[in-house]
Chains A and B, each alone.
Chain A
């Protein structure tokens, strides 16, 4: 069992969601987040006052899935979320020890 955490540009969410659905991935958790990487922030001016925008809005998608789906899923996310410009985001993959479906109390792969 693995967890994929993908930080993407907000306007790419719909495309990423569709790409993952096509792979048969049945669920995901999405959070609106703010952050920066190498893209950094930028300076803007409003009514004569200069200010820096450090944290840019991003979307974080979390999916937990069986090991054999991980490569396809991460490839699909890259393909759908890529614009080629700085700020496209990152994908982190980690191992998950256990999953439990609350309603049925199933565990492991069956609960994912």
Chain B
């Protein structure tokens, strides 16, 4: 049974179950051994156990259930809790320490504070309406872009799986897993405006940006009725595929970073002083943490401990390792030396590039993405930034924007149905995605990329100008010189 049919059946089963009056429950029918076995086998197939209870007419008899229905599957649920924790670990401390090492010592605490501030802010937004607007069914035309308010304040988001997203993972675990993505995405943007933006202005920006950019892109790409959710929405207008966040996380943060750093302006003395990283040791430690956390991010995006997750684990490893060496090699040819910063940047760029592809491409595809994911972001960071002279402090656009865009396109070219049968699943058959795989899927990817680019750049510009109208966005030159740690947070990273 295909995943989608089973998902729909699951929803139906719950409606039926909840509508059963008390009198009917007393004489509820018992499942056959075959039905109970089929429900348990669904656990191994990552399909809906309630599908085993459907009779010949396609209906579930009132009150019929098995102990396997309506509970999380231990293995899948364990993996998703660990994955969610791994994705949070990417931000705290992974990204924080990676960025912390890359700034000057007088600003190390400011990026840590910004990562912490984003984490707490996004958690509150996600609890209130963020999760609901991103992942509740939308309905109607606007519903392709925003979800509804069904899950506002995490109402009804319990340990019972939500079959729209996974038949075996608790809904509350899924909501937390997705929250970690919602945290790391704006935390990435912090790097583009590091060392000069006011703390209050960053948090205000992020609070608005979540609604204008992150939530709509997330609902479109991954929401059950999202506009460009080619794999799971049978009515998707754009039949695009994005396994772990090439649009949602990487393109959204990368392109927003470029626009925001242009609006905020360059750091004082940009181009006159060397803004060297104050601790390459921290940077390397952070990059390693990001890599480890990325397994939760990529393989976890299967929302199951299944074969698709296994493949994503493999492709993530290959692309990250290959891009790291490729970047360092490119640096060796251009500068005559391979640097630790080069290896670390390559790791991140490769992992970004494989993000949308990891659950759709095979090992050969991952190697190719790894090579391109090392070379092209390298050129963006070394050449593009020099030509256009924008001050993207920690190369968020050069790495996440460029590699994310590249990865989305490569996913369209290299997707392999043998790796992920959902590419020919019921929704993919219904919306036509199944026919597009290896046959023009990259055009659908371009549409999704264009839409993401528009939402991210226009949305960021609107939000950034709104924040600038409300408050001072930059710290004063004197504060910028003494560092944000003292001027914004009243403490120092190192007292030696």
Answer yes or no: do A and B interact: yes
A interface with B by C-beta (< 8 Å) = 9-11, 14, 44, 46, 57, 83
Decide: B491 and A11 in contact? CB cutoff 8 A: no
Q: Does B120 contact A (CB under 8 A)?
A: no
Contact A10 B490 (CB under 8 A): no
Q: Are B478 and A9 in contact (CB under 8 A)?
A: yes
Q: Which one of A10, A14, A44, A46 lies within 8 Å of B272 (CB-CB)?
A: A14
The answer on a CB contact under 8 Å between A11 and B490 is no
Q: Closest B-chain residue to A59, C-beta based?
A: B481
B480 within 8 A of A: yes
6 example contacts (A-B, Cβ-Cβ < 8 A) are as follows: A9-B478, A10-B481, A11-B481, A44-B490, A46-B491, A83-B478
For residue A83, which residue of chain B has the nearest CB?
A: B478
What are the residues of chain A within 8 A of B478 when measuring CB–CB? 9, 11, 83
Is there contact, CB below 8 Å, between B269 and A10?
no
Which chain A residue lies CB-closest to B477?
A11
Given the interface contacts A11-B477, A46-B490, does A57 sit within 8 Å of B482 by beta carbon?
yes
Q: A14-B268, A46-B490, A46-B491 are in contact. List 15 more A-B contacts (CB 8 A).
A: A9-B478, A10-B481, A10-B482, A11-B268, A11-B477, A11-B478, A11-B480, A11-B481, A11-B482, A14-B269, A14-B272, A14-B273, A44-B490, A57-B482, A83-B478
User: How far is A44 from B490 in the complex, measured between Cα atoms in Å?
Assistant: 9
Q: Which of B3-43 contact A (CB under 8 A)?
A: none
A-contact bits for B258-270, CB 8 A (1 contact / 0 none) = 0000000000110
Looking at chain B's contact residues, is the secondary structure mostly helix, strand, loop, or mixed?
mixed
Which B residues lie within 8 Å of A10 (CB)? Answer: 481-482
Cβ–Cβ < 8 Å partners of A9 in chain B: 478
Q: Which residue of A lies closest to B480 (CB)?
A: A11
From B478, which residue of chain A is reached at the shortest CB distance? A11
Q: How far is the CA of A107 from the CA of B268 in the complex (A)?
A: 39
B453 to chain A, nearest CB (A): 37
Contacts of A44 in B (CB 8 A): 490
The minimal Cβ–Cβ distance linking A71 to chain B, given in whole angstroms, is 27
Closest to B272 in A: A14
Q: Which residues on the A side are within 8 Å of B490 (C-beta)?
A: 44, 46
Cα distance A83–B478 when bound, in Å? Answer: 10
For residue B152, give the distance in angstroms from its CB to the closest CB of chain A.
38
Residues of chain A within 8 A of B272, CB atoms compared: 14
**B269 neighbours in A (Cβ, 8 Å):** 14
Q: How far is the CA of A8 from the CA of B329 in the complex (A)?
A: 45
A73 to B126, CA, bound (A): 59
| Chain B proximity of A16: nearest CB distance (Å) | 13
- Residues of chain A within 8 A of B273, CB atoms compared: 14
CB distance from B478 to the nearest CB of A (A): 5
Complex: A46 Cα to B491 Cα, angstroms: 8
CA distance A57 to B477 in the complex (A): 15
Closest to B491 in A: A46
Q: Which one of A9, A11, A46, A57 has the highest number of Cβ atoms from chain B below 10 Å of its Cβ?
A: A11
A10 to B482 Cα, complex, angstroms: 8
- Which of chain A's residues have a CB closer than 8 A to the CB of B481? 10-11
Residues in B whose Cβ lies below 8 Å from that of A46:
490-491
For window 452-496 of chain B, which residues contact chain A by CB distance below 8 Å? 477-478, 480-482, 490-491
How many whole Å from B475's CB to the nearest CB in chain A? 11
Q: A83–B477 Cα gap in the complex (Å)?
A: 11
**A83: B residues at CB distance < 8 A:** 478
Rounded to whole Å, the gap between the CB of A32 and the closest CB of chain B is 12
Chain A contacts for B268, CB-based, 8 A = 11, 14
Tell me the minimal C-beta distance from A88 to chain B in angstroms: 11
Most chain-B CB neighbours within 10 Å: which of A10, A14, A57, A83?
Answer: A14
**Could you tell me the distance in whole angstroms from the C-beta of B495 to the nearest C-beta in chain A?**
11
Q: How far is it, in angstroms, between the C-alpha of A10 and the C-alpha of B480 when the chains are bound?
A: 11
Q: What is the CB-to-nearest-CB distance from B422 to chain A, in angstroms, rounded to a whole number?
A: 53
Residues of A within 8 A of B477 (CB): 11
A28 CB to nearest chain B CB (Å)? 16
CA distance A10 to B272 in the complex (A): 16
- Chain A proximity of B7: nearest CB distance (Å): 52
